[in-house]
Structure 1
Amino acid sequence: MSARYDDVLGPLREAYDRSARQRDASGKAAWKQAEREAFLGRLPDGGKLLEIGAGTGQDSVYFRDHGLDVVAVDLSPEMVARCREKGLDARVMDFLGLDFAPGSFDAVYALNCLLHVPDRDLPAVLEAIHRVMRPGGLFFLGVYGGGSLTGEGEFADDEQWPPRFFSFRSDEELVERASRVFEVVDFHAVGADHSRFQSLTLRA
């Protein structure tokens, strides 16, 4: 039987609490900046954006500084504290506990966080995200995966402790699952091998 989301939350929270300081000091790769900029270019001025799995808030600050009304959520209290230090509206929430009214956001941004959701729970997570979006809103879903990077489970050689759970999906599987809930606006891949990144822009 595959893992369940509730089972992986505790180790994920601990791992990201432990790494918050290190992650806050790290820079942003140029290709990630390009993906972020491209998504911003699709959004209307002054909209309301939710970043899920926001980490230390680097991307949320970028969107805020470009005129969006941003809310950042993360399951790690330490990450949320770093977001708040940057003046962000940041809250401790996980993907299945998005405590917002339906249709609250014009856009959602999720960079390298939904790869921690087991396959069994991905449909419920996508539905939860869709619920808080306004009709026609855009959702950026970016994860590592595809090519030779497939399968799910804890990585014993993870550089963080405790080892995190990952679920890597083929391009076809990721697009098919997303298209059950959203309209696919764009899909492309960046990089290769264990750095291969799947970029999806979706419409609610």
Structure 2
Amino acid sequence: MNVKETLRSSYNQNAKLRDKPDVVPWKLIERDHFLSLLDKREQTTILDLGAGTGQHGRYMADHGFDVTCVDLSPNMVDACIQKGLKAFEMDMYRLSFEDNAFDGIWALNSLLHIPKADLLNVLREIRRVLKPGGVFYMGVYGGYNSEGIWEDDPYQPQRFFSFYDEIAMKEIVSQVFTLQEFRTVPLDGMKLDFQGIVLRK
């Protein structure tokens, strides 16, 4: 199974479905918290990593930040461009940016598609493009340890997910970044919870 090709195909087919103006309230709280950690006078550049259709990127740009969006899916990238955003089709395993390029990196529910064997290398690549002292917000679903195709996924082809419990996630991110915050958001009626993680280079 080629995880990347499956994800690209799945999100290409569902880009229009995902391009909705409504965002659940807890995601808005997480986004505003991330932005509050950046000083707009000095820390202005943000990489939206796995930007989807660009709702969050557009909000950040509207609030004065210089936002660059990247996504594996060309249809998602097109949706970002239609919102007036700088957006590029790109693989987060190999980011086409110089070292120390961004003050902040926002990755909401994108790294949960990375196989566990690859996560450390992807985190190191993210660290490479983050400025010293920069803020990396990593938001993922988790709460227990699991890896593989989500058998109940309504998307076709069905997507690959990696989930971590709190101990395992803290252990792996701390190998690459300084862990500043780890917040858990319970999700009603779900075995999963959401992990909002603030990391520093």
Normalization by structure 1: what TM-score? 0.94
In the alignment, the residues of structure 2 paired with residue 21 and residue 157 of structure 1 have an alpha-carbon distance, to the nearest angstrom, of: 21
Say whether 1:131 aligns with 2:131: no
Deviations 1:130-161 (A, max 9, x none): 00011000000000001xx4310001221100
Say whether 1:20 aligns with 2:20: no
2:46 to 49, 55, 67: 49
Say whether 1:171 aligns with 2:166: yes
Give the partner amino acid of 2:182: F
Worse-superposed segment, 152-161 or 69-78: 152-161
2:27 alignment counterpart? 32
Deviations 1:66-95 (A, max 9, x none): 111000000000000000000000000011
Give the partner amino acid of 1:51: D
1:155 to 129, 150, 155: 150
1:120 alignment counterpart? 117
Give the partner amino acid of 2:81: R
User: How many residues of Structure 1 are paired with residues of Structure 2 in the alignment?
Assistant: 197
> Deviation of residue 25 (structure 1)?
2.3
2:191 alignment counterpart? 194
In the alignment, the residues of structure 1 paired with residue 173 and residue 191 of structure 2 have an alpha-carbon distance, to the nearest angstrom, of: 22
1:182 alignment counterpart? 177
In the alignment, the residues of structure 1 paired with residue 168 and residue 37 of structure 2 have an alpha-carbon distance, to the nearest angstrom, of: 25
Contact 2:107 2:138 in 1 (8 A): yes
Deviations 1:82-129 (A, max 9, x none): 000000000000111210000000000000010000110000000000
Off by >2 Å, runs of 4+ in structure 1: 192-195
In the alignment, the residues of structure 2 paired with residue 33 and residue 26 of structure 1 have an alpha-carbon distance, to the nearest angstrom, of: 12
1:58 alignment counterpart? 55
Instruction: Give the SS at the match of 1:56.
Output: coil
Gaps of 5+ in 1: none
Give the partner amino acid of 2:132: P
Q: Which has the higher helix share?
A: 1
The alignment yields a C-alpha RMSD, in angstroms, of: 1.2
2:68 alignment counterpart? 71
Percent of aligned pairs with the same residue?
45
> Deviation of residue 194 (structure 1)?
3.3
Give the partner amino acid of 2:155: Q
> Deviation of residue 44 (structure 1)?
1.1
In the alignment, the residues of structure 1 paired with residue 26 and residue 20 of structure 2 have an alpha-carbon distance, to the nearest angstrom, of: 18
2:84 to 87, 93, 116: 87
Deviations 1:134-190 (A, max 9, x none): 1000000000001xx431000122110001000001111111110111001110100
